[in-house]
Amino acid sequence: MSDQNAIRDTVILGSGCAGLTAAIYAGRANLNPLVLEGHEPGGQLSITTLVENFPGWPDGVQGPELIENMKKQAMRFGAELRMAHLTSADLTTTPFELGVGKDIIQTRSLIIASGASARWLGLPSEQALIGFGVSSCATCDGFFASGKEIAVIGGGDSAMEEALFLTRFATKVTVINRSENFRASRIMLERAVAHPQIEFLHNTLIEECIGVEEKDLKGLRLHNRKTGERWTLPVSFMFLGIGHEPNAKMFEGQLDLDADGYIKTEDNIFVSILGERINGVYACGDVQDRRYRQAITAAGTGCMAALEVEKYLEELGR
């Protein structure tokens, strides 16, 4: 174990929209933030294509370009970006101690912006077609499904919400549920069932996404696990609505998490343990937000977290 770092004023976990916005603000406040980029550098935006709803780009901007610009902006103000991820954390000591491989980083404050990862089916053909007809974000990519027949995977509220939203663009939406029953709430389900453009398949598994060679989704190879029937559904888009996993497991027992593992926050950024607020630690972006999950809301809470850090360090006399 080495202890090669001086005590940092602030460390930011995650380099998505929330983390990088926090880095820009903390950098401008002369805090020389250290950003640990995490398992998915750039976060979910780095695997999106065109982002059309981020204010300031009237013609849209590619997700990776937006992230790259944010990185440059953060580095211009003295943020240090490190390709590393957290392996342990001790928030009970002062300063806080963060394990990164064999190193221990000490920091007076911590911004957790580790995000959430969309759940995928895990099929190689699905992974190969992400951005080419396969998406986990209806809000981001729905527009590209205009005039097309598409599929939404899942049977929970996320899937119903996506299916209903996508009827604005797609001519037909087939919701594919692997189970007999839905997990969605009654109200969402009723709305989806009543919609003339939405159809449902139950007990149905996706075996393969077709179109890998053409780099363009052409259809889904399906299997009804009850009847054994196999067939191909021609669709041009597949949206995953099977949930997200917040990247907060390493804080189990050190921070209050909700039943699905999201960090519980008060006023979007303040964290607690057993209901008691922990000063100097803030969470922002998707790791604490199951509701909005937008780039702009992540950026907003990232900004709030950095401003709170500034205030906290000032109170410490830094």
Known catalytic residues are 137, 140-141
Binding mask 269-298 for ligand NDP (x = CB under 6 A): ---------------------x--------
**Cα distance between residue 182 and residue 177, in whole Å:** 7
Q: Which is nearer to ligand NDP, 142 or 155 (CB)?
A: 155
Asked if 221 interacts with ligand NDP (CB under 6 A), we say no
Q: How far is the CB of 158 from ligand NDP (least distance, A)?
A: 3
Asked if 223 interacts with ligand NDP (CB under 6 A), we say no
Q: State which of residues 28, 148, 172, 178 lies at the interface with ligand NDP (CB under 6 A).
A: 178
Q: Which is nearer to ligand NDP, 89 or 164 (CB)?
A: 164
Segment near ligand NDP (CB under 6 A); pick from 45-53, 75-83, 172-180, 229-237: 172-180
Q: Residue 298's Cα: distance from chain center in Å?
A: 9
Closest residue to ligand NDP, based on beta-carbon distance:
156
Asked if 202 interacts with ligand NDP (CB under 6 A), we say no
**Cα distance between residue 83 and residue 35, in whole Å:** 9
Segment near ligand NDP (CB under 6 A); pick from 127-135, 154-162, 246-254, 298-306: 154-162
Asked if 162 interacts with ligand NDP (CB under 6 A), we say no
Asked if 264 interacts with ligand NDP (CB under 6 A), we say no
Asked if 161 interacts with ligand NDP (CB under 6 A), we say yes
Asked if 179 interacts with ligand NDP (CB under 6 A), we say yes
Which of the residues 97 through 136 are near ligand NDP (CB under 6 A)? 119, 121
Asked if 172 interacts with ligand NDP (CB under 6 A), we say no
Asked if 246 interacts with ligand NDP (CB under 6 A), we say no
Q: Which is nearer to ligand NDP, 35 or 151 (CB)?
A: 151
Q: What is the 3-state secondary structure (H, E, C) of the chain?
A: CECCCCCEEEEEECCCHHHHHHHHHHHHCCCCCEEECCCCCCHHHHHCCEECCCCCCCCCEEHHHHHHHHHHHHHHCCCEEECCCCCEEECCCCCEEEEECCEEEEEEEEEECCCEEECCCCCHHHHHCECCCEECCHHHHHHHHCCCEEEEECCCHHHHHHHHHHCCCCCEEEEECCCCCCCCCHHHHHHHHHCCCEEEECCEEEEEEECCCCCCCCEEEEEECCCCCEEEECCCEEEECCCEEECCHHHECCECECCCCCECCECCCEEEECCEEEEEEEECHHHCCCCCCCHHHHHHHHHHHHHHHHHHHHHCCC
Q: How far is the CB of 133 from ligand NDP (least distance, A)?
A: 18
Which residues contact ligand NDP by CB under 6 A?
119, 121, 153-159, 161, 177-179, 183, 185, 242-243, 290
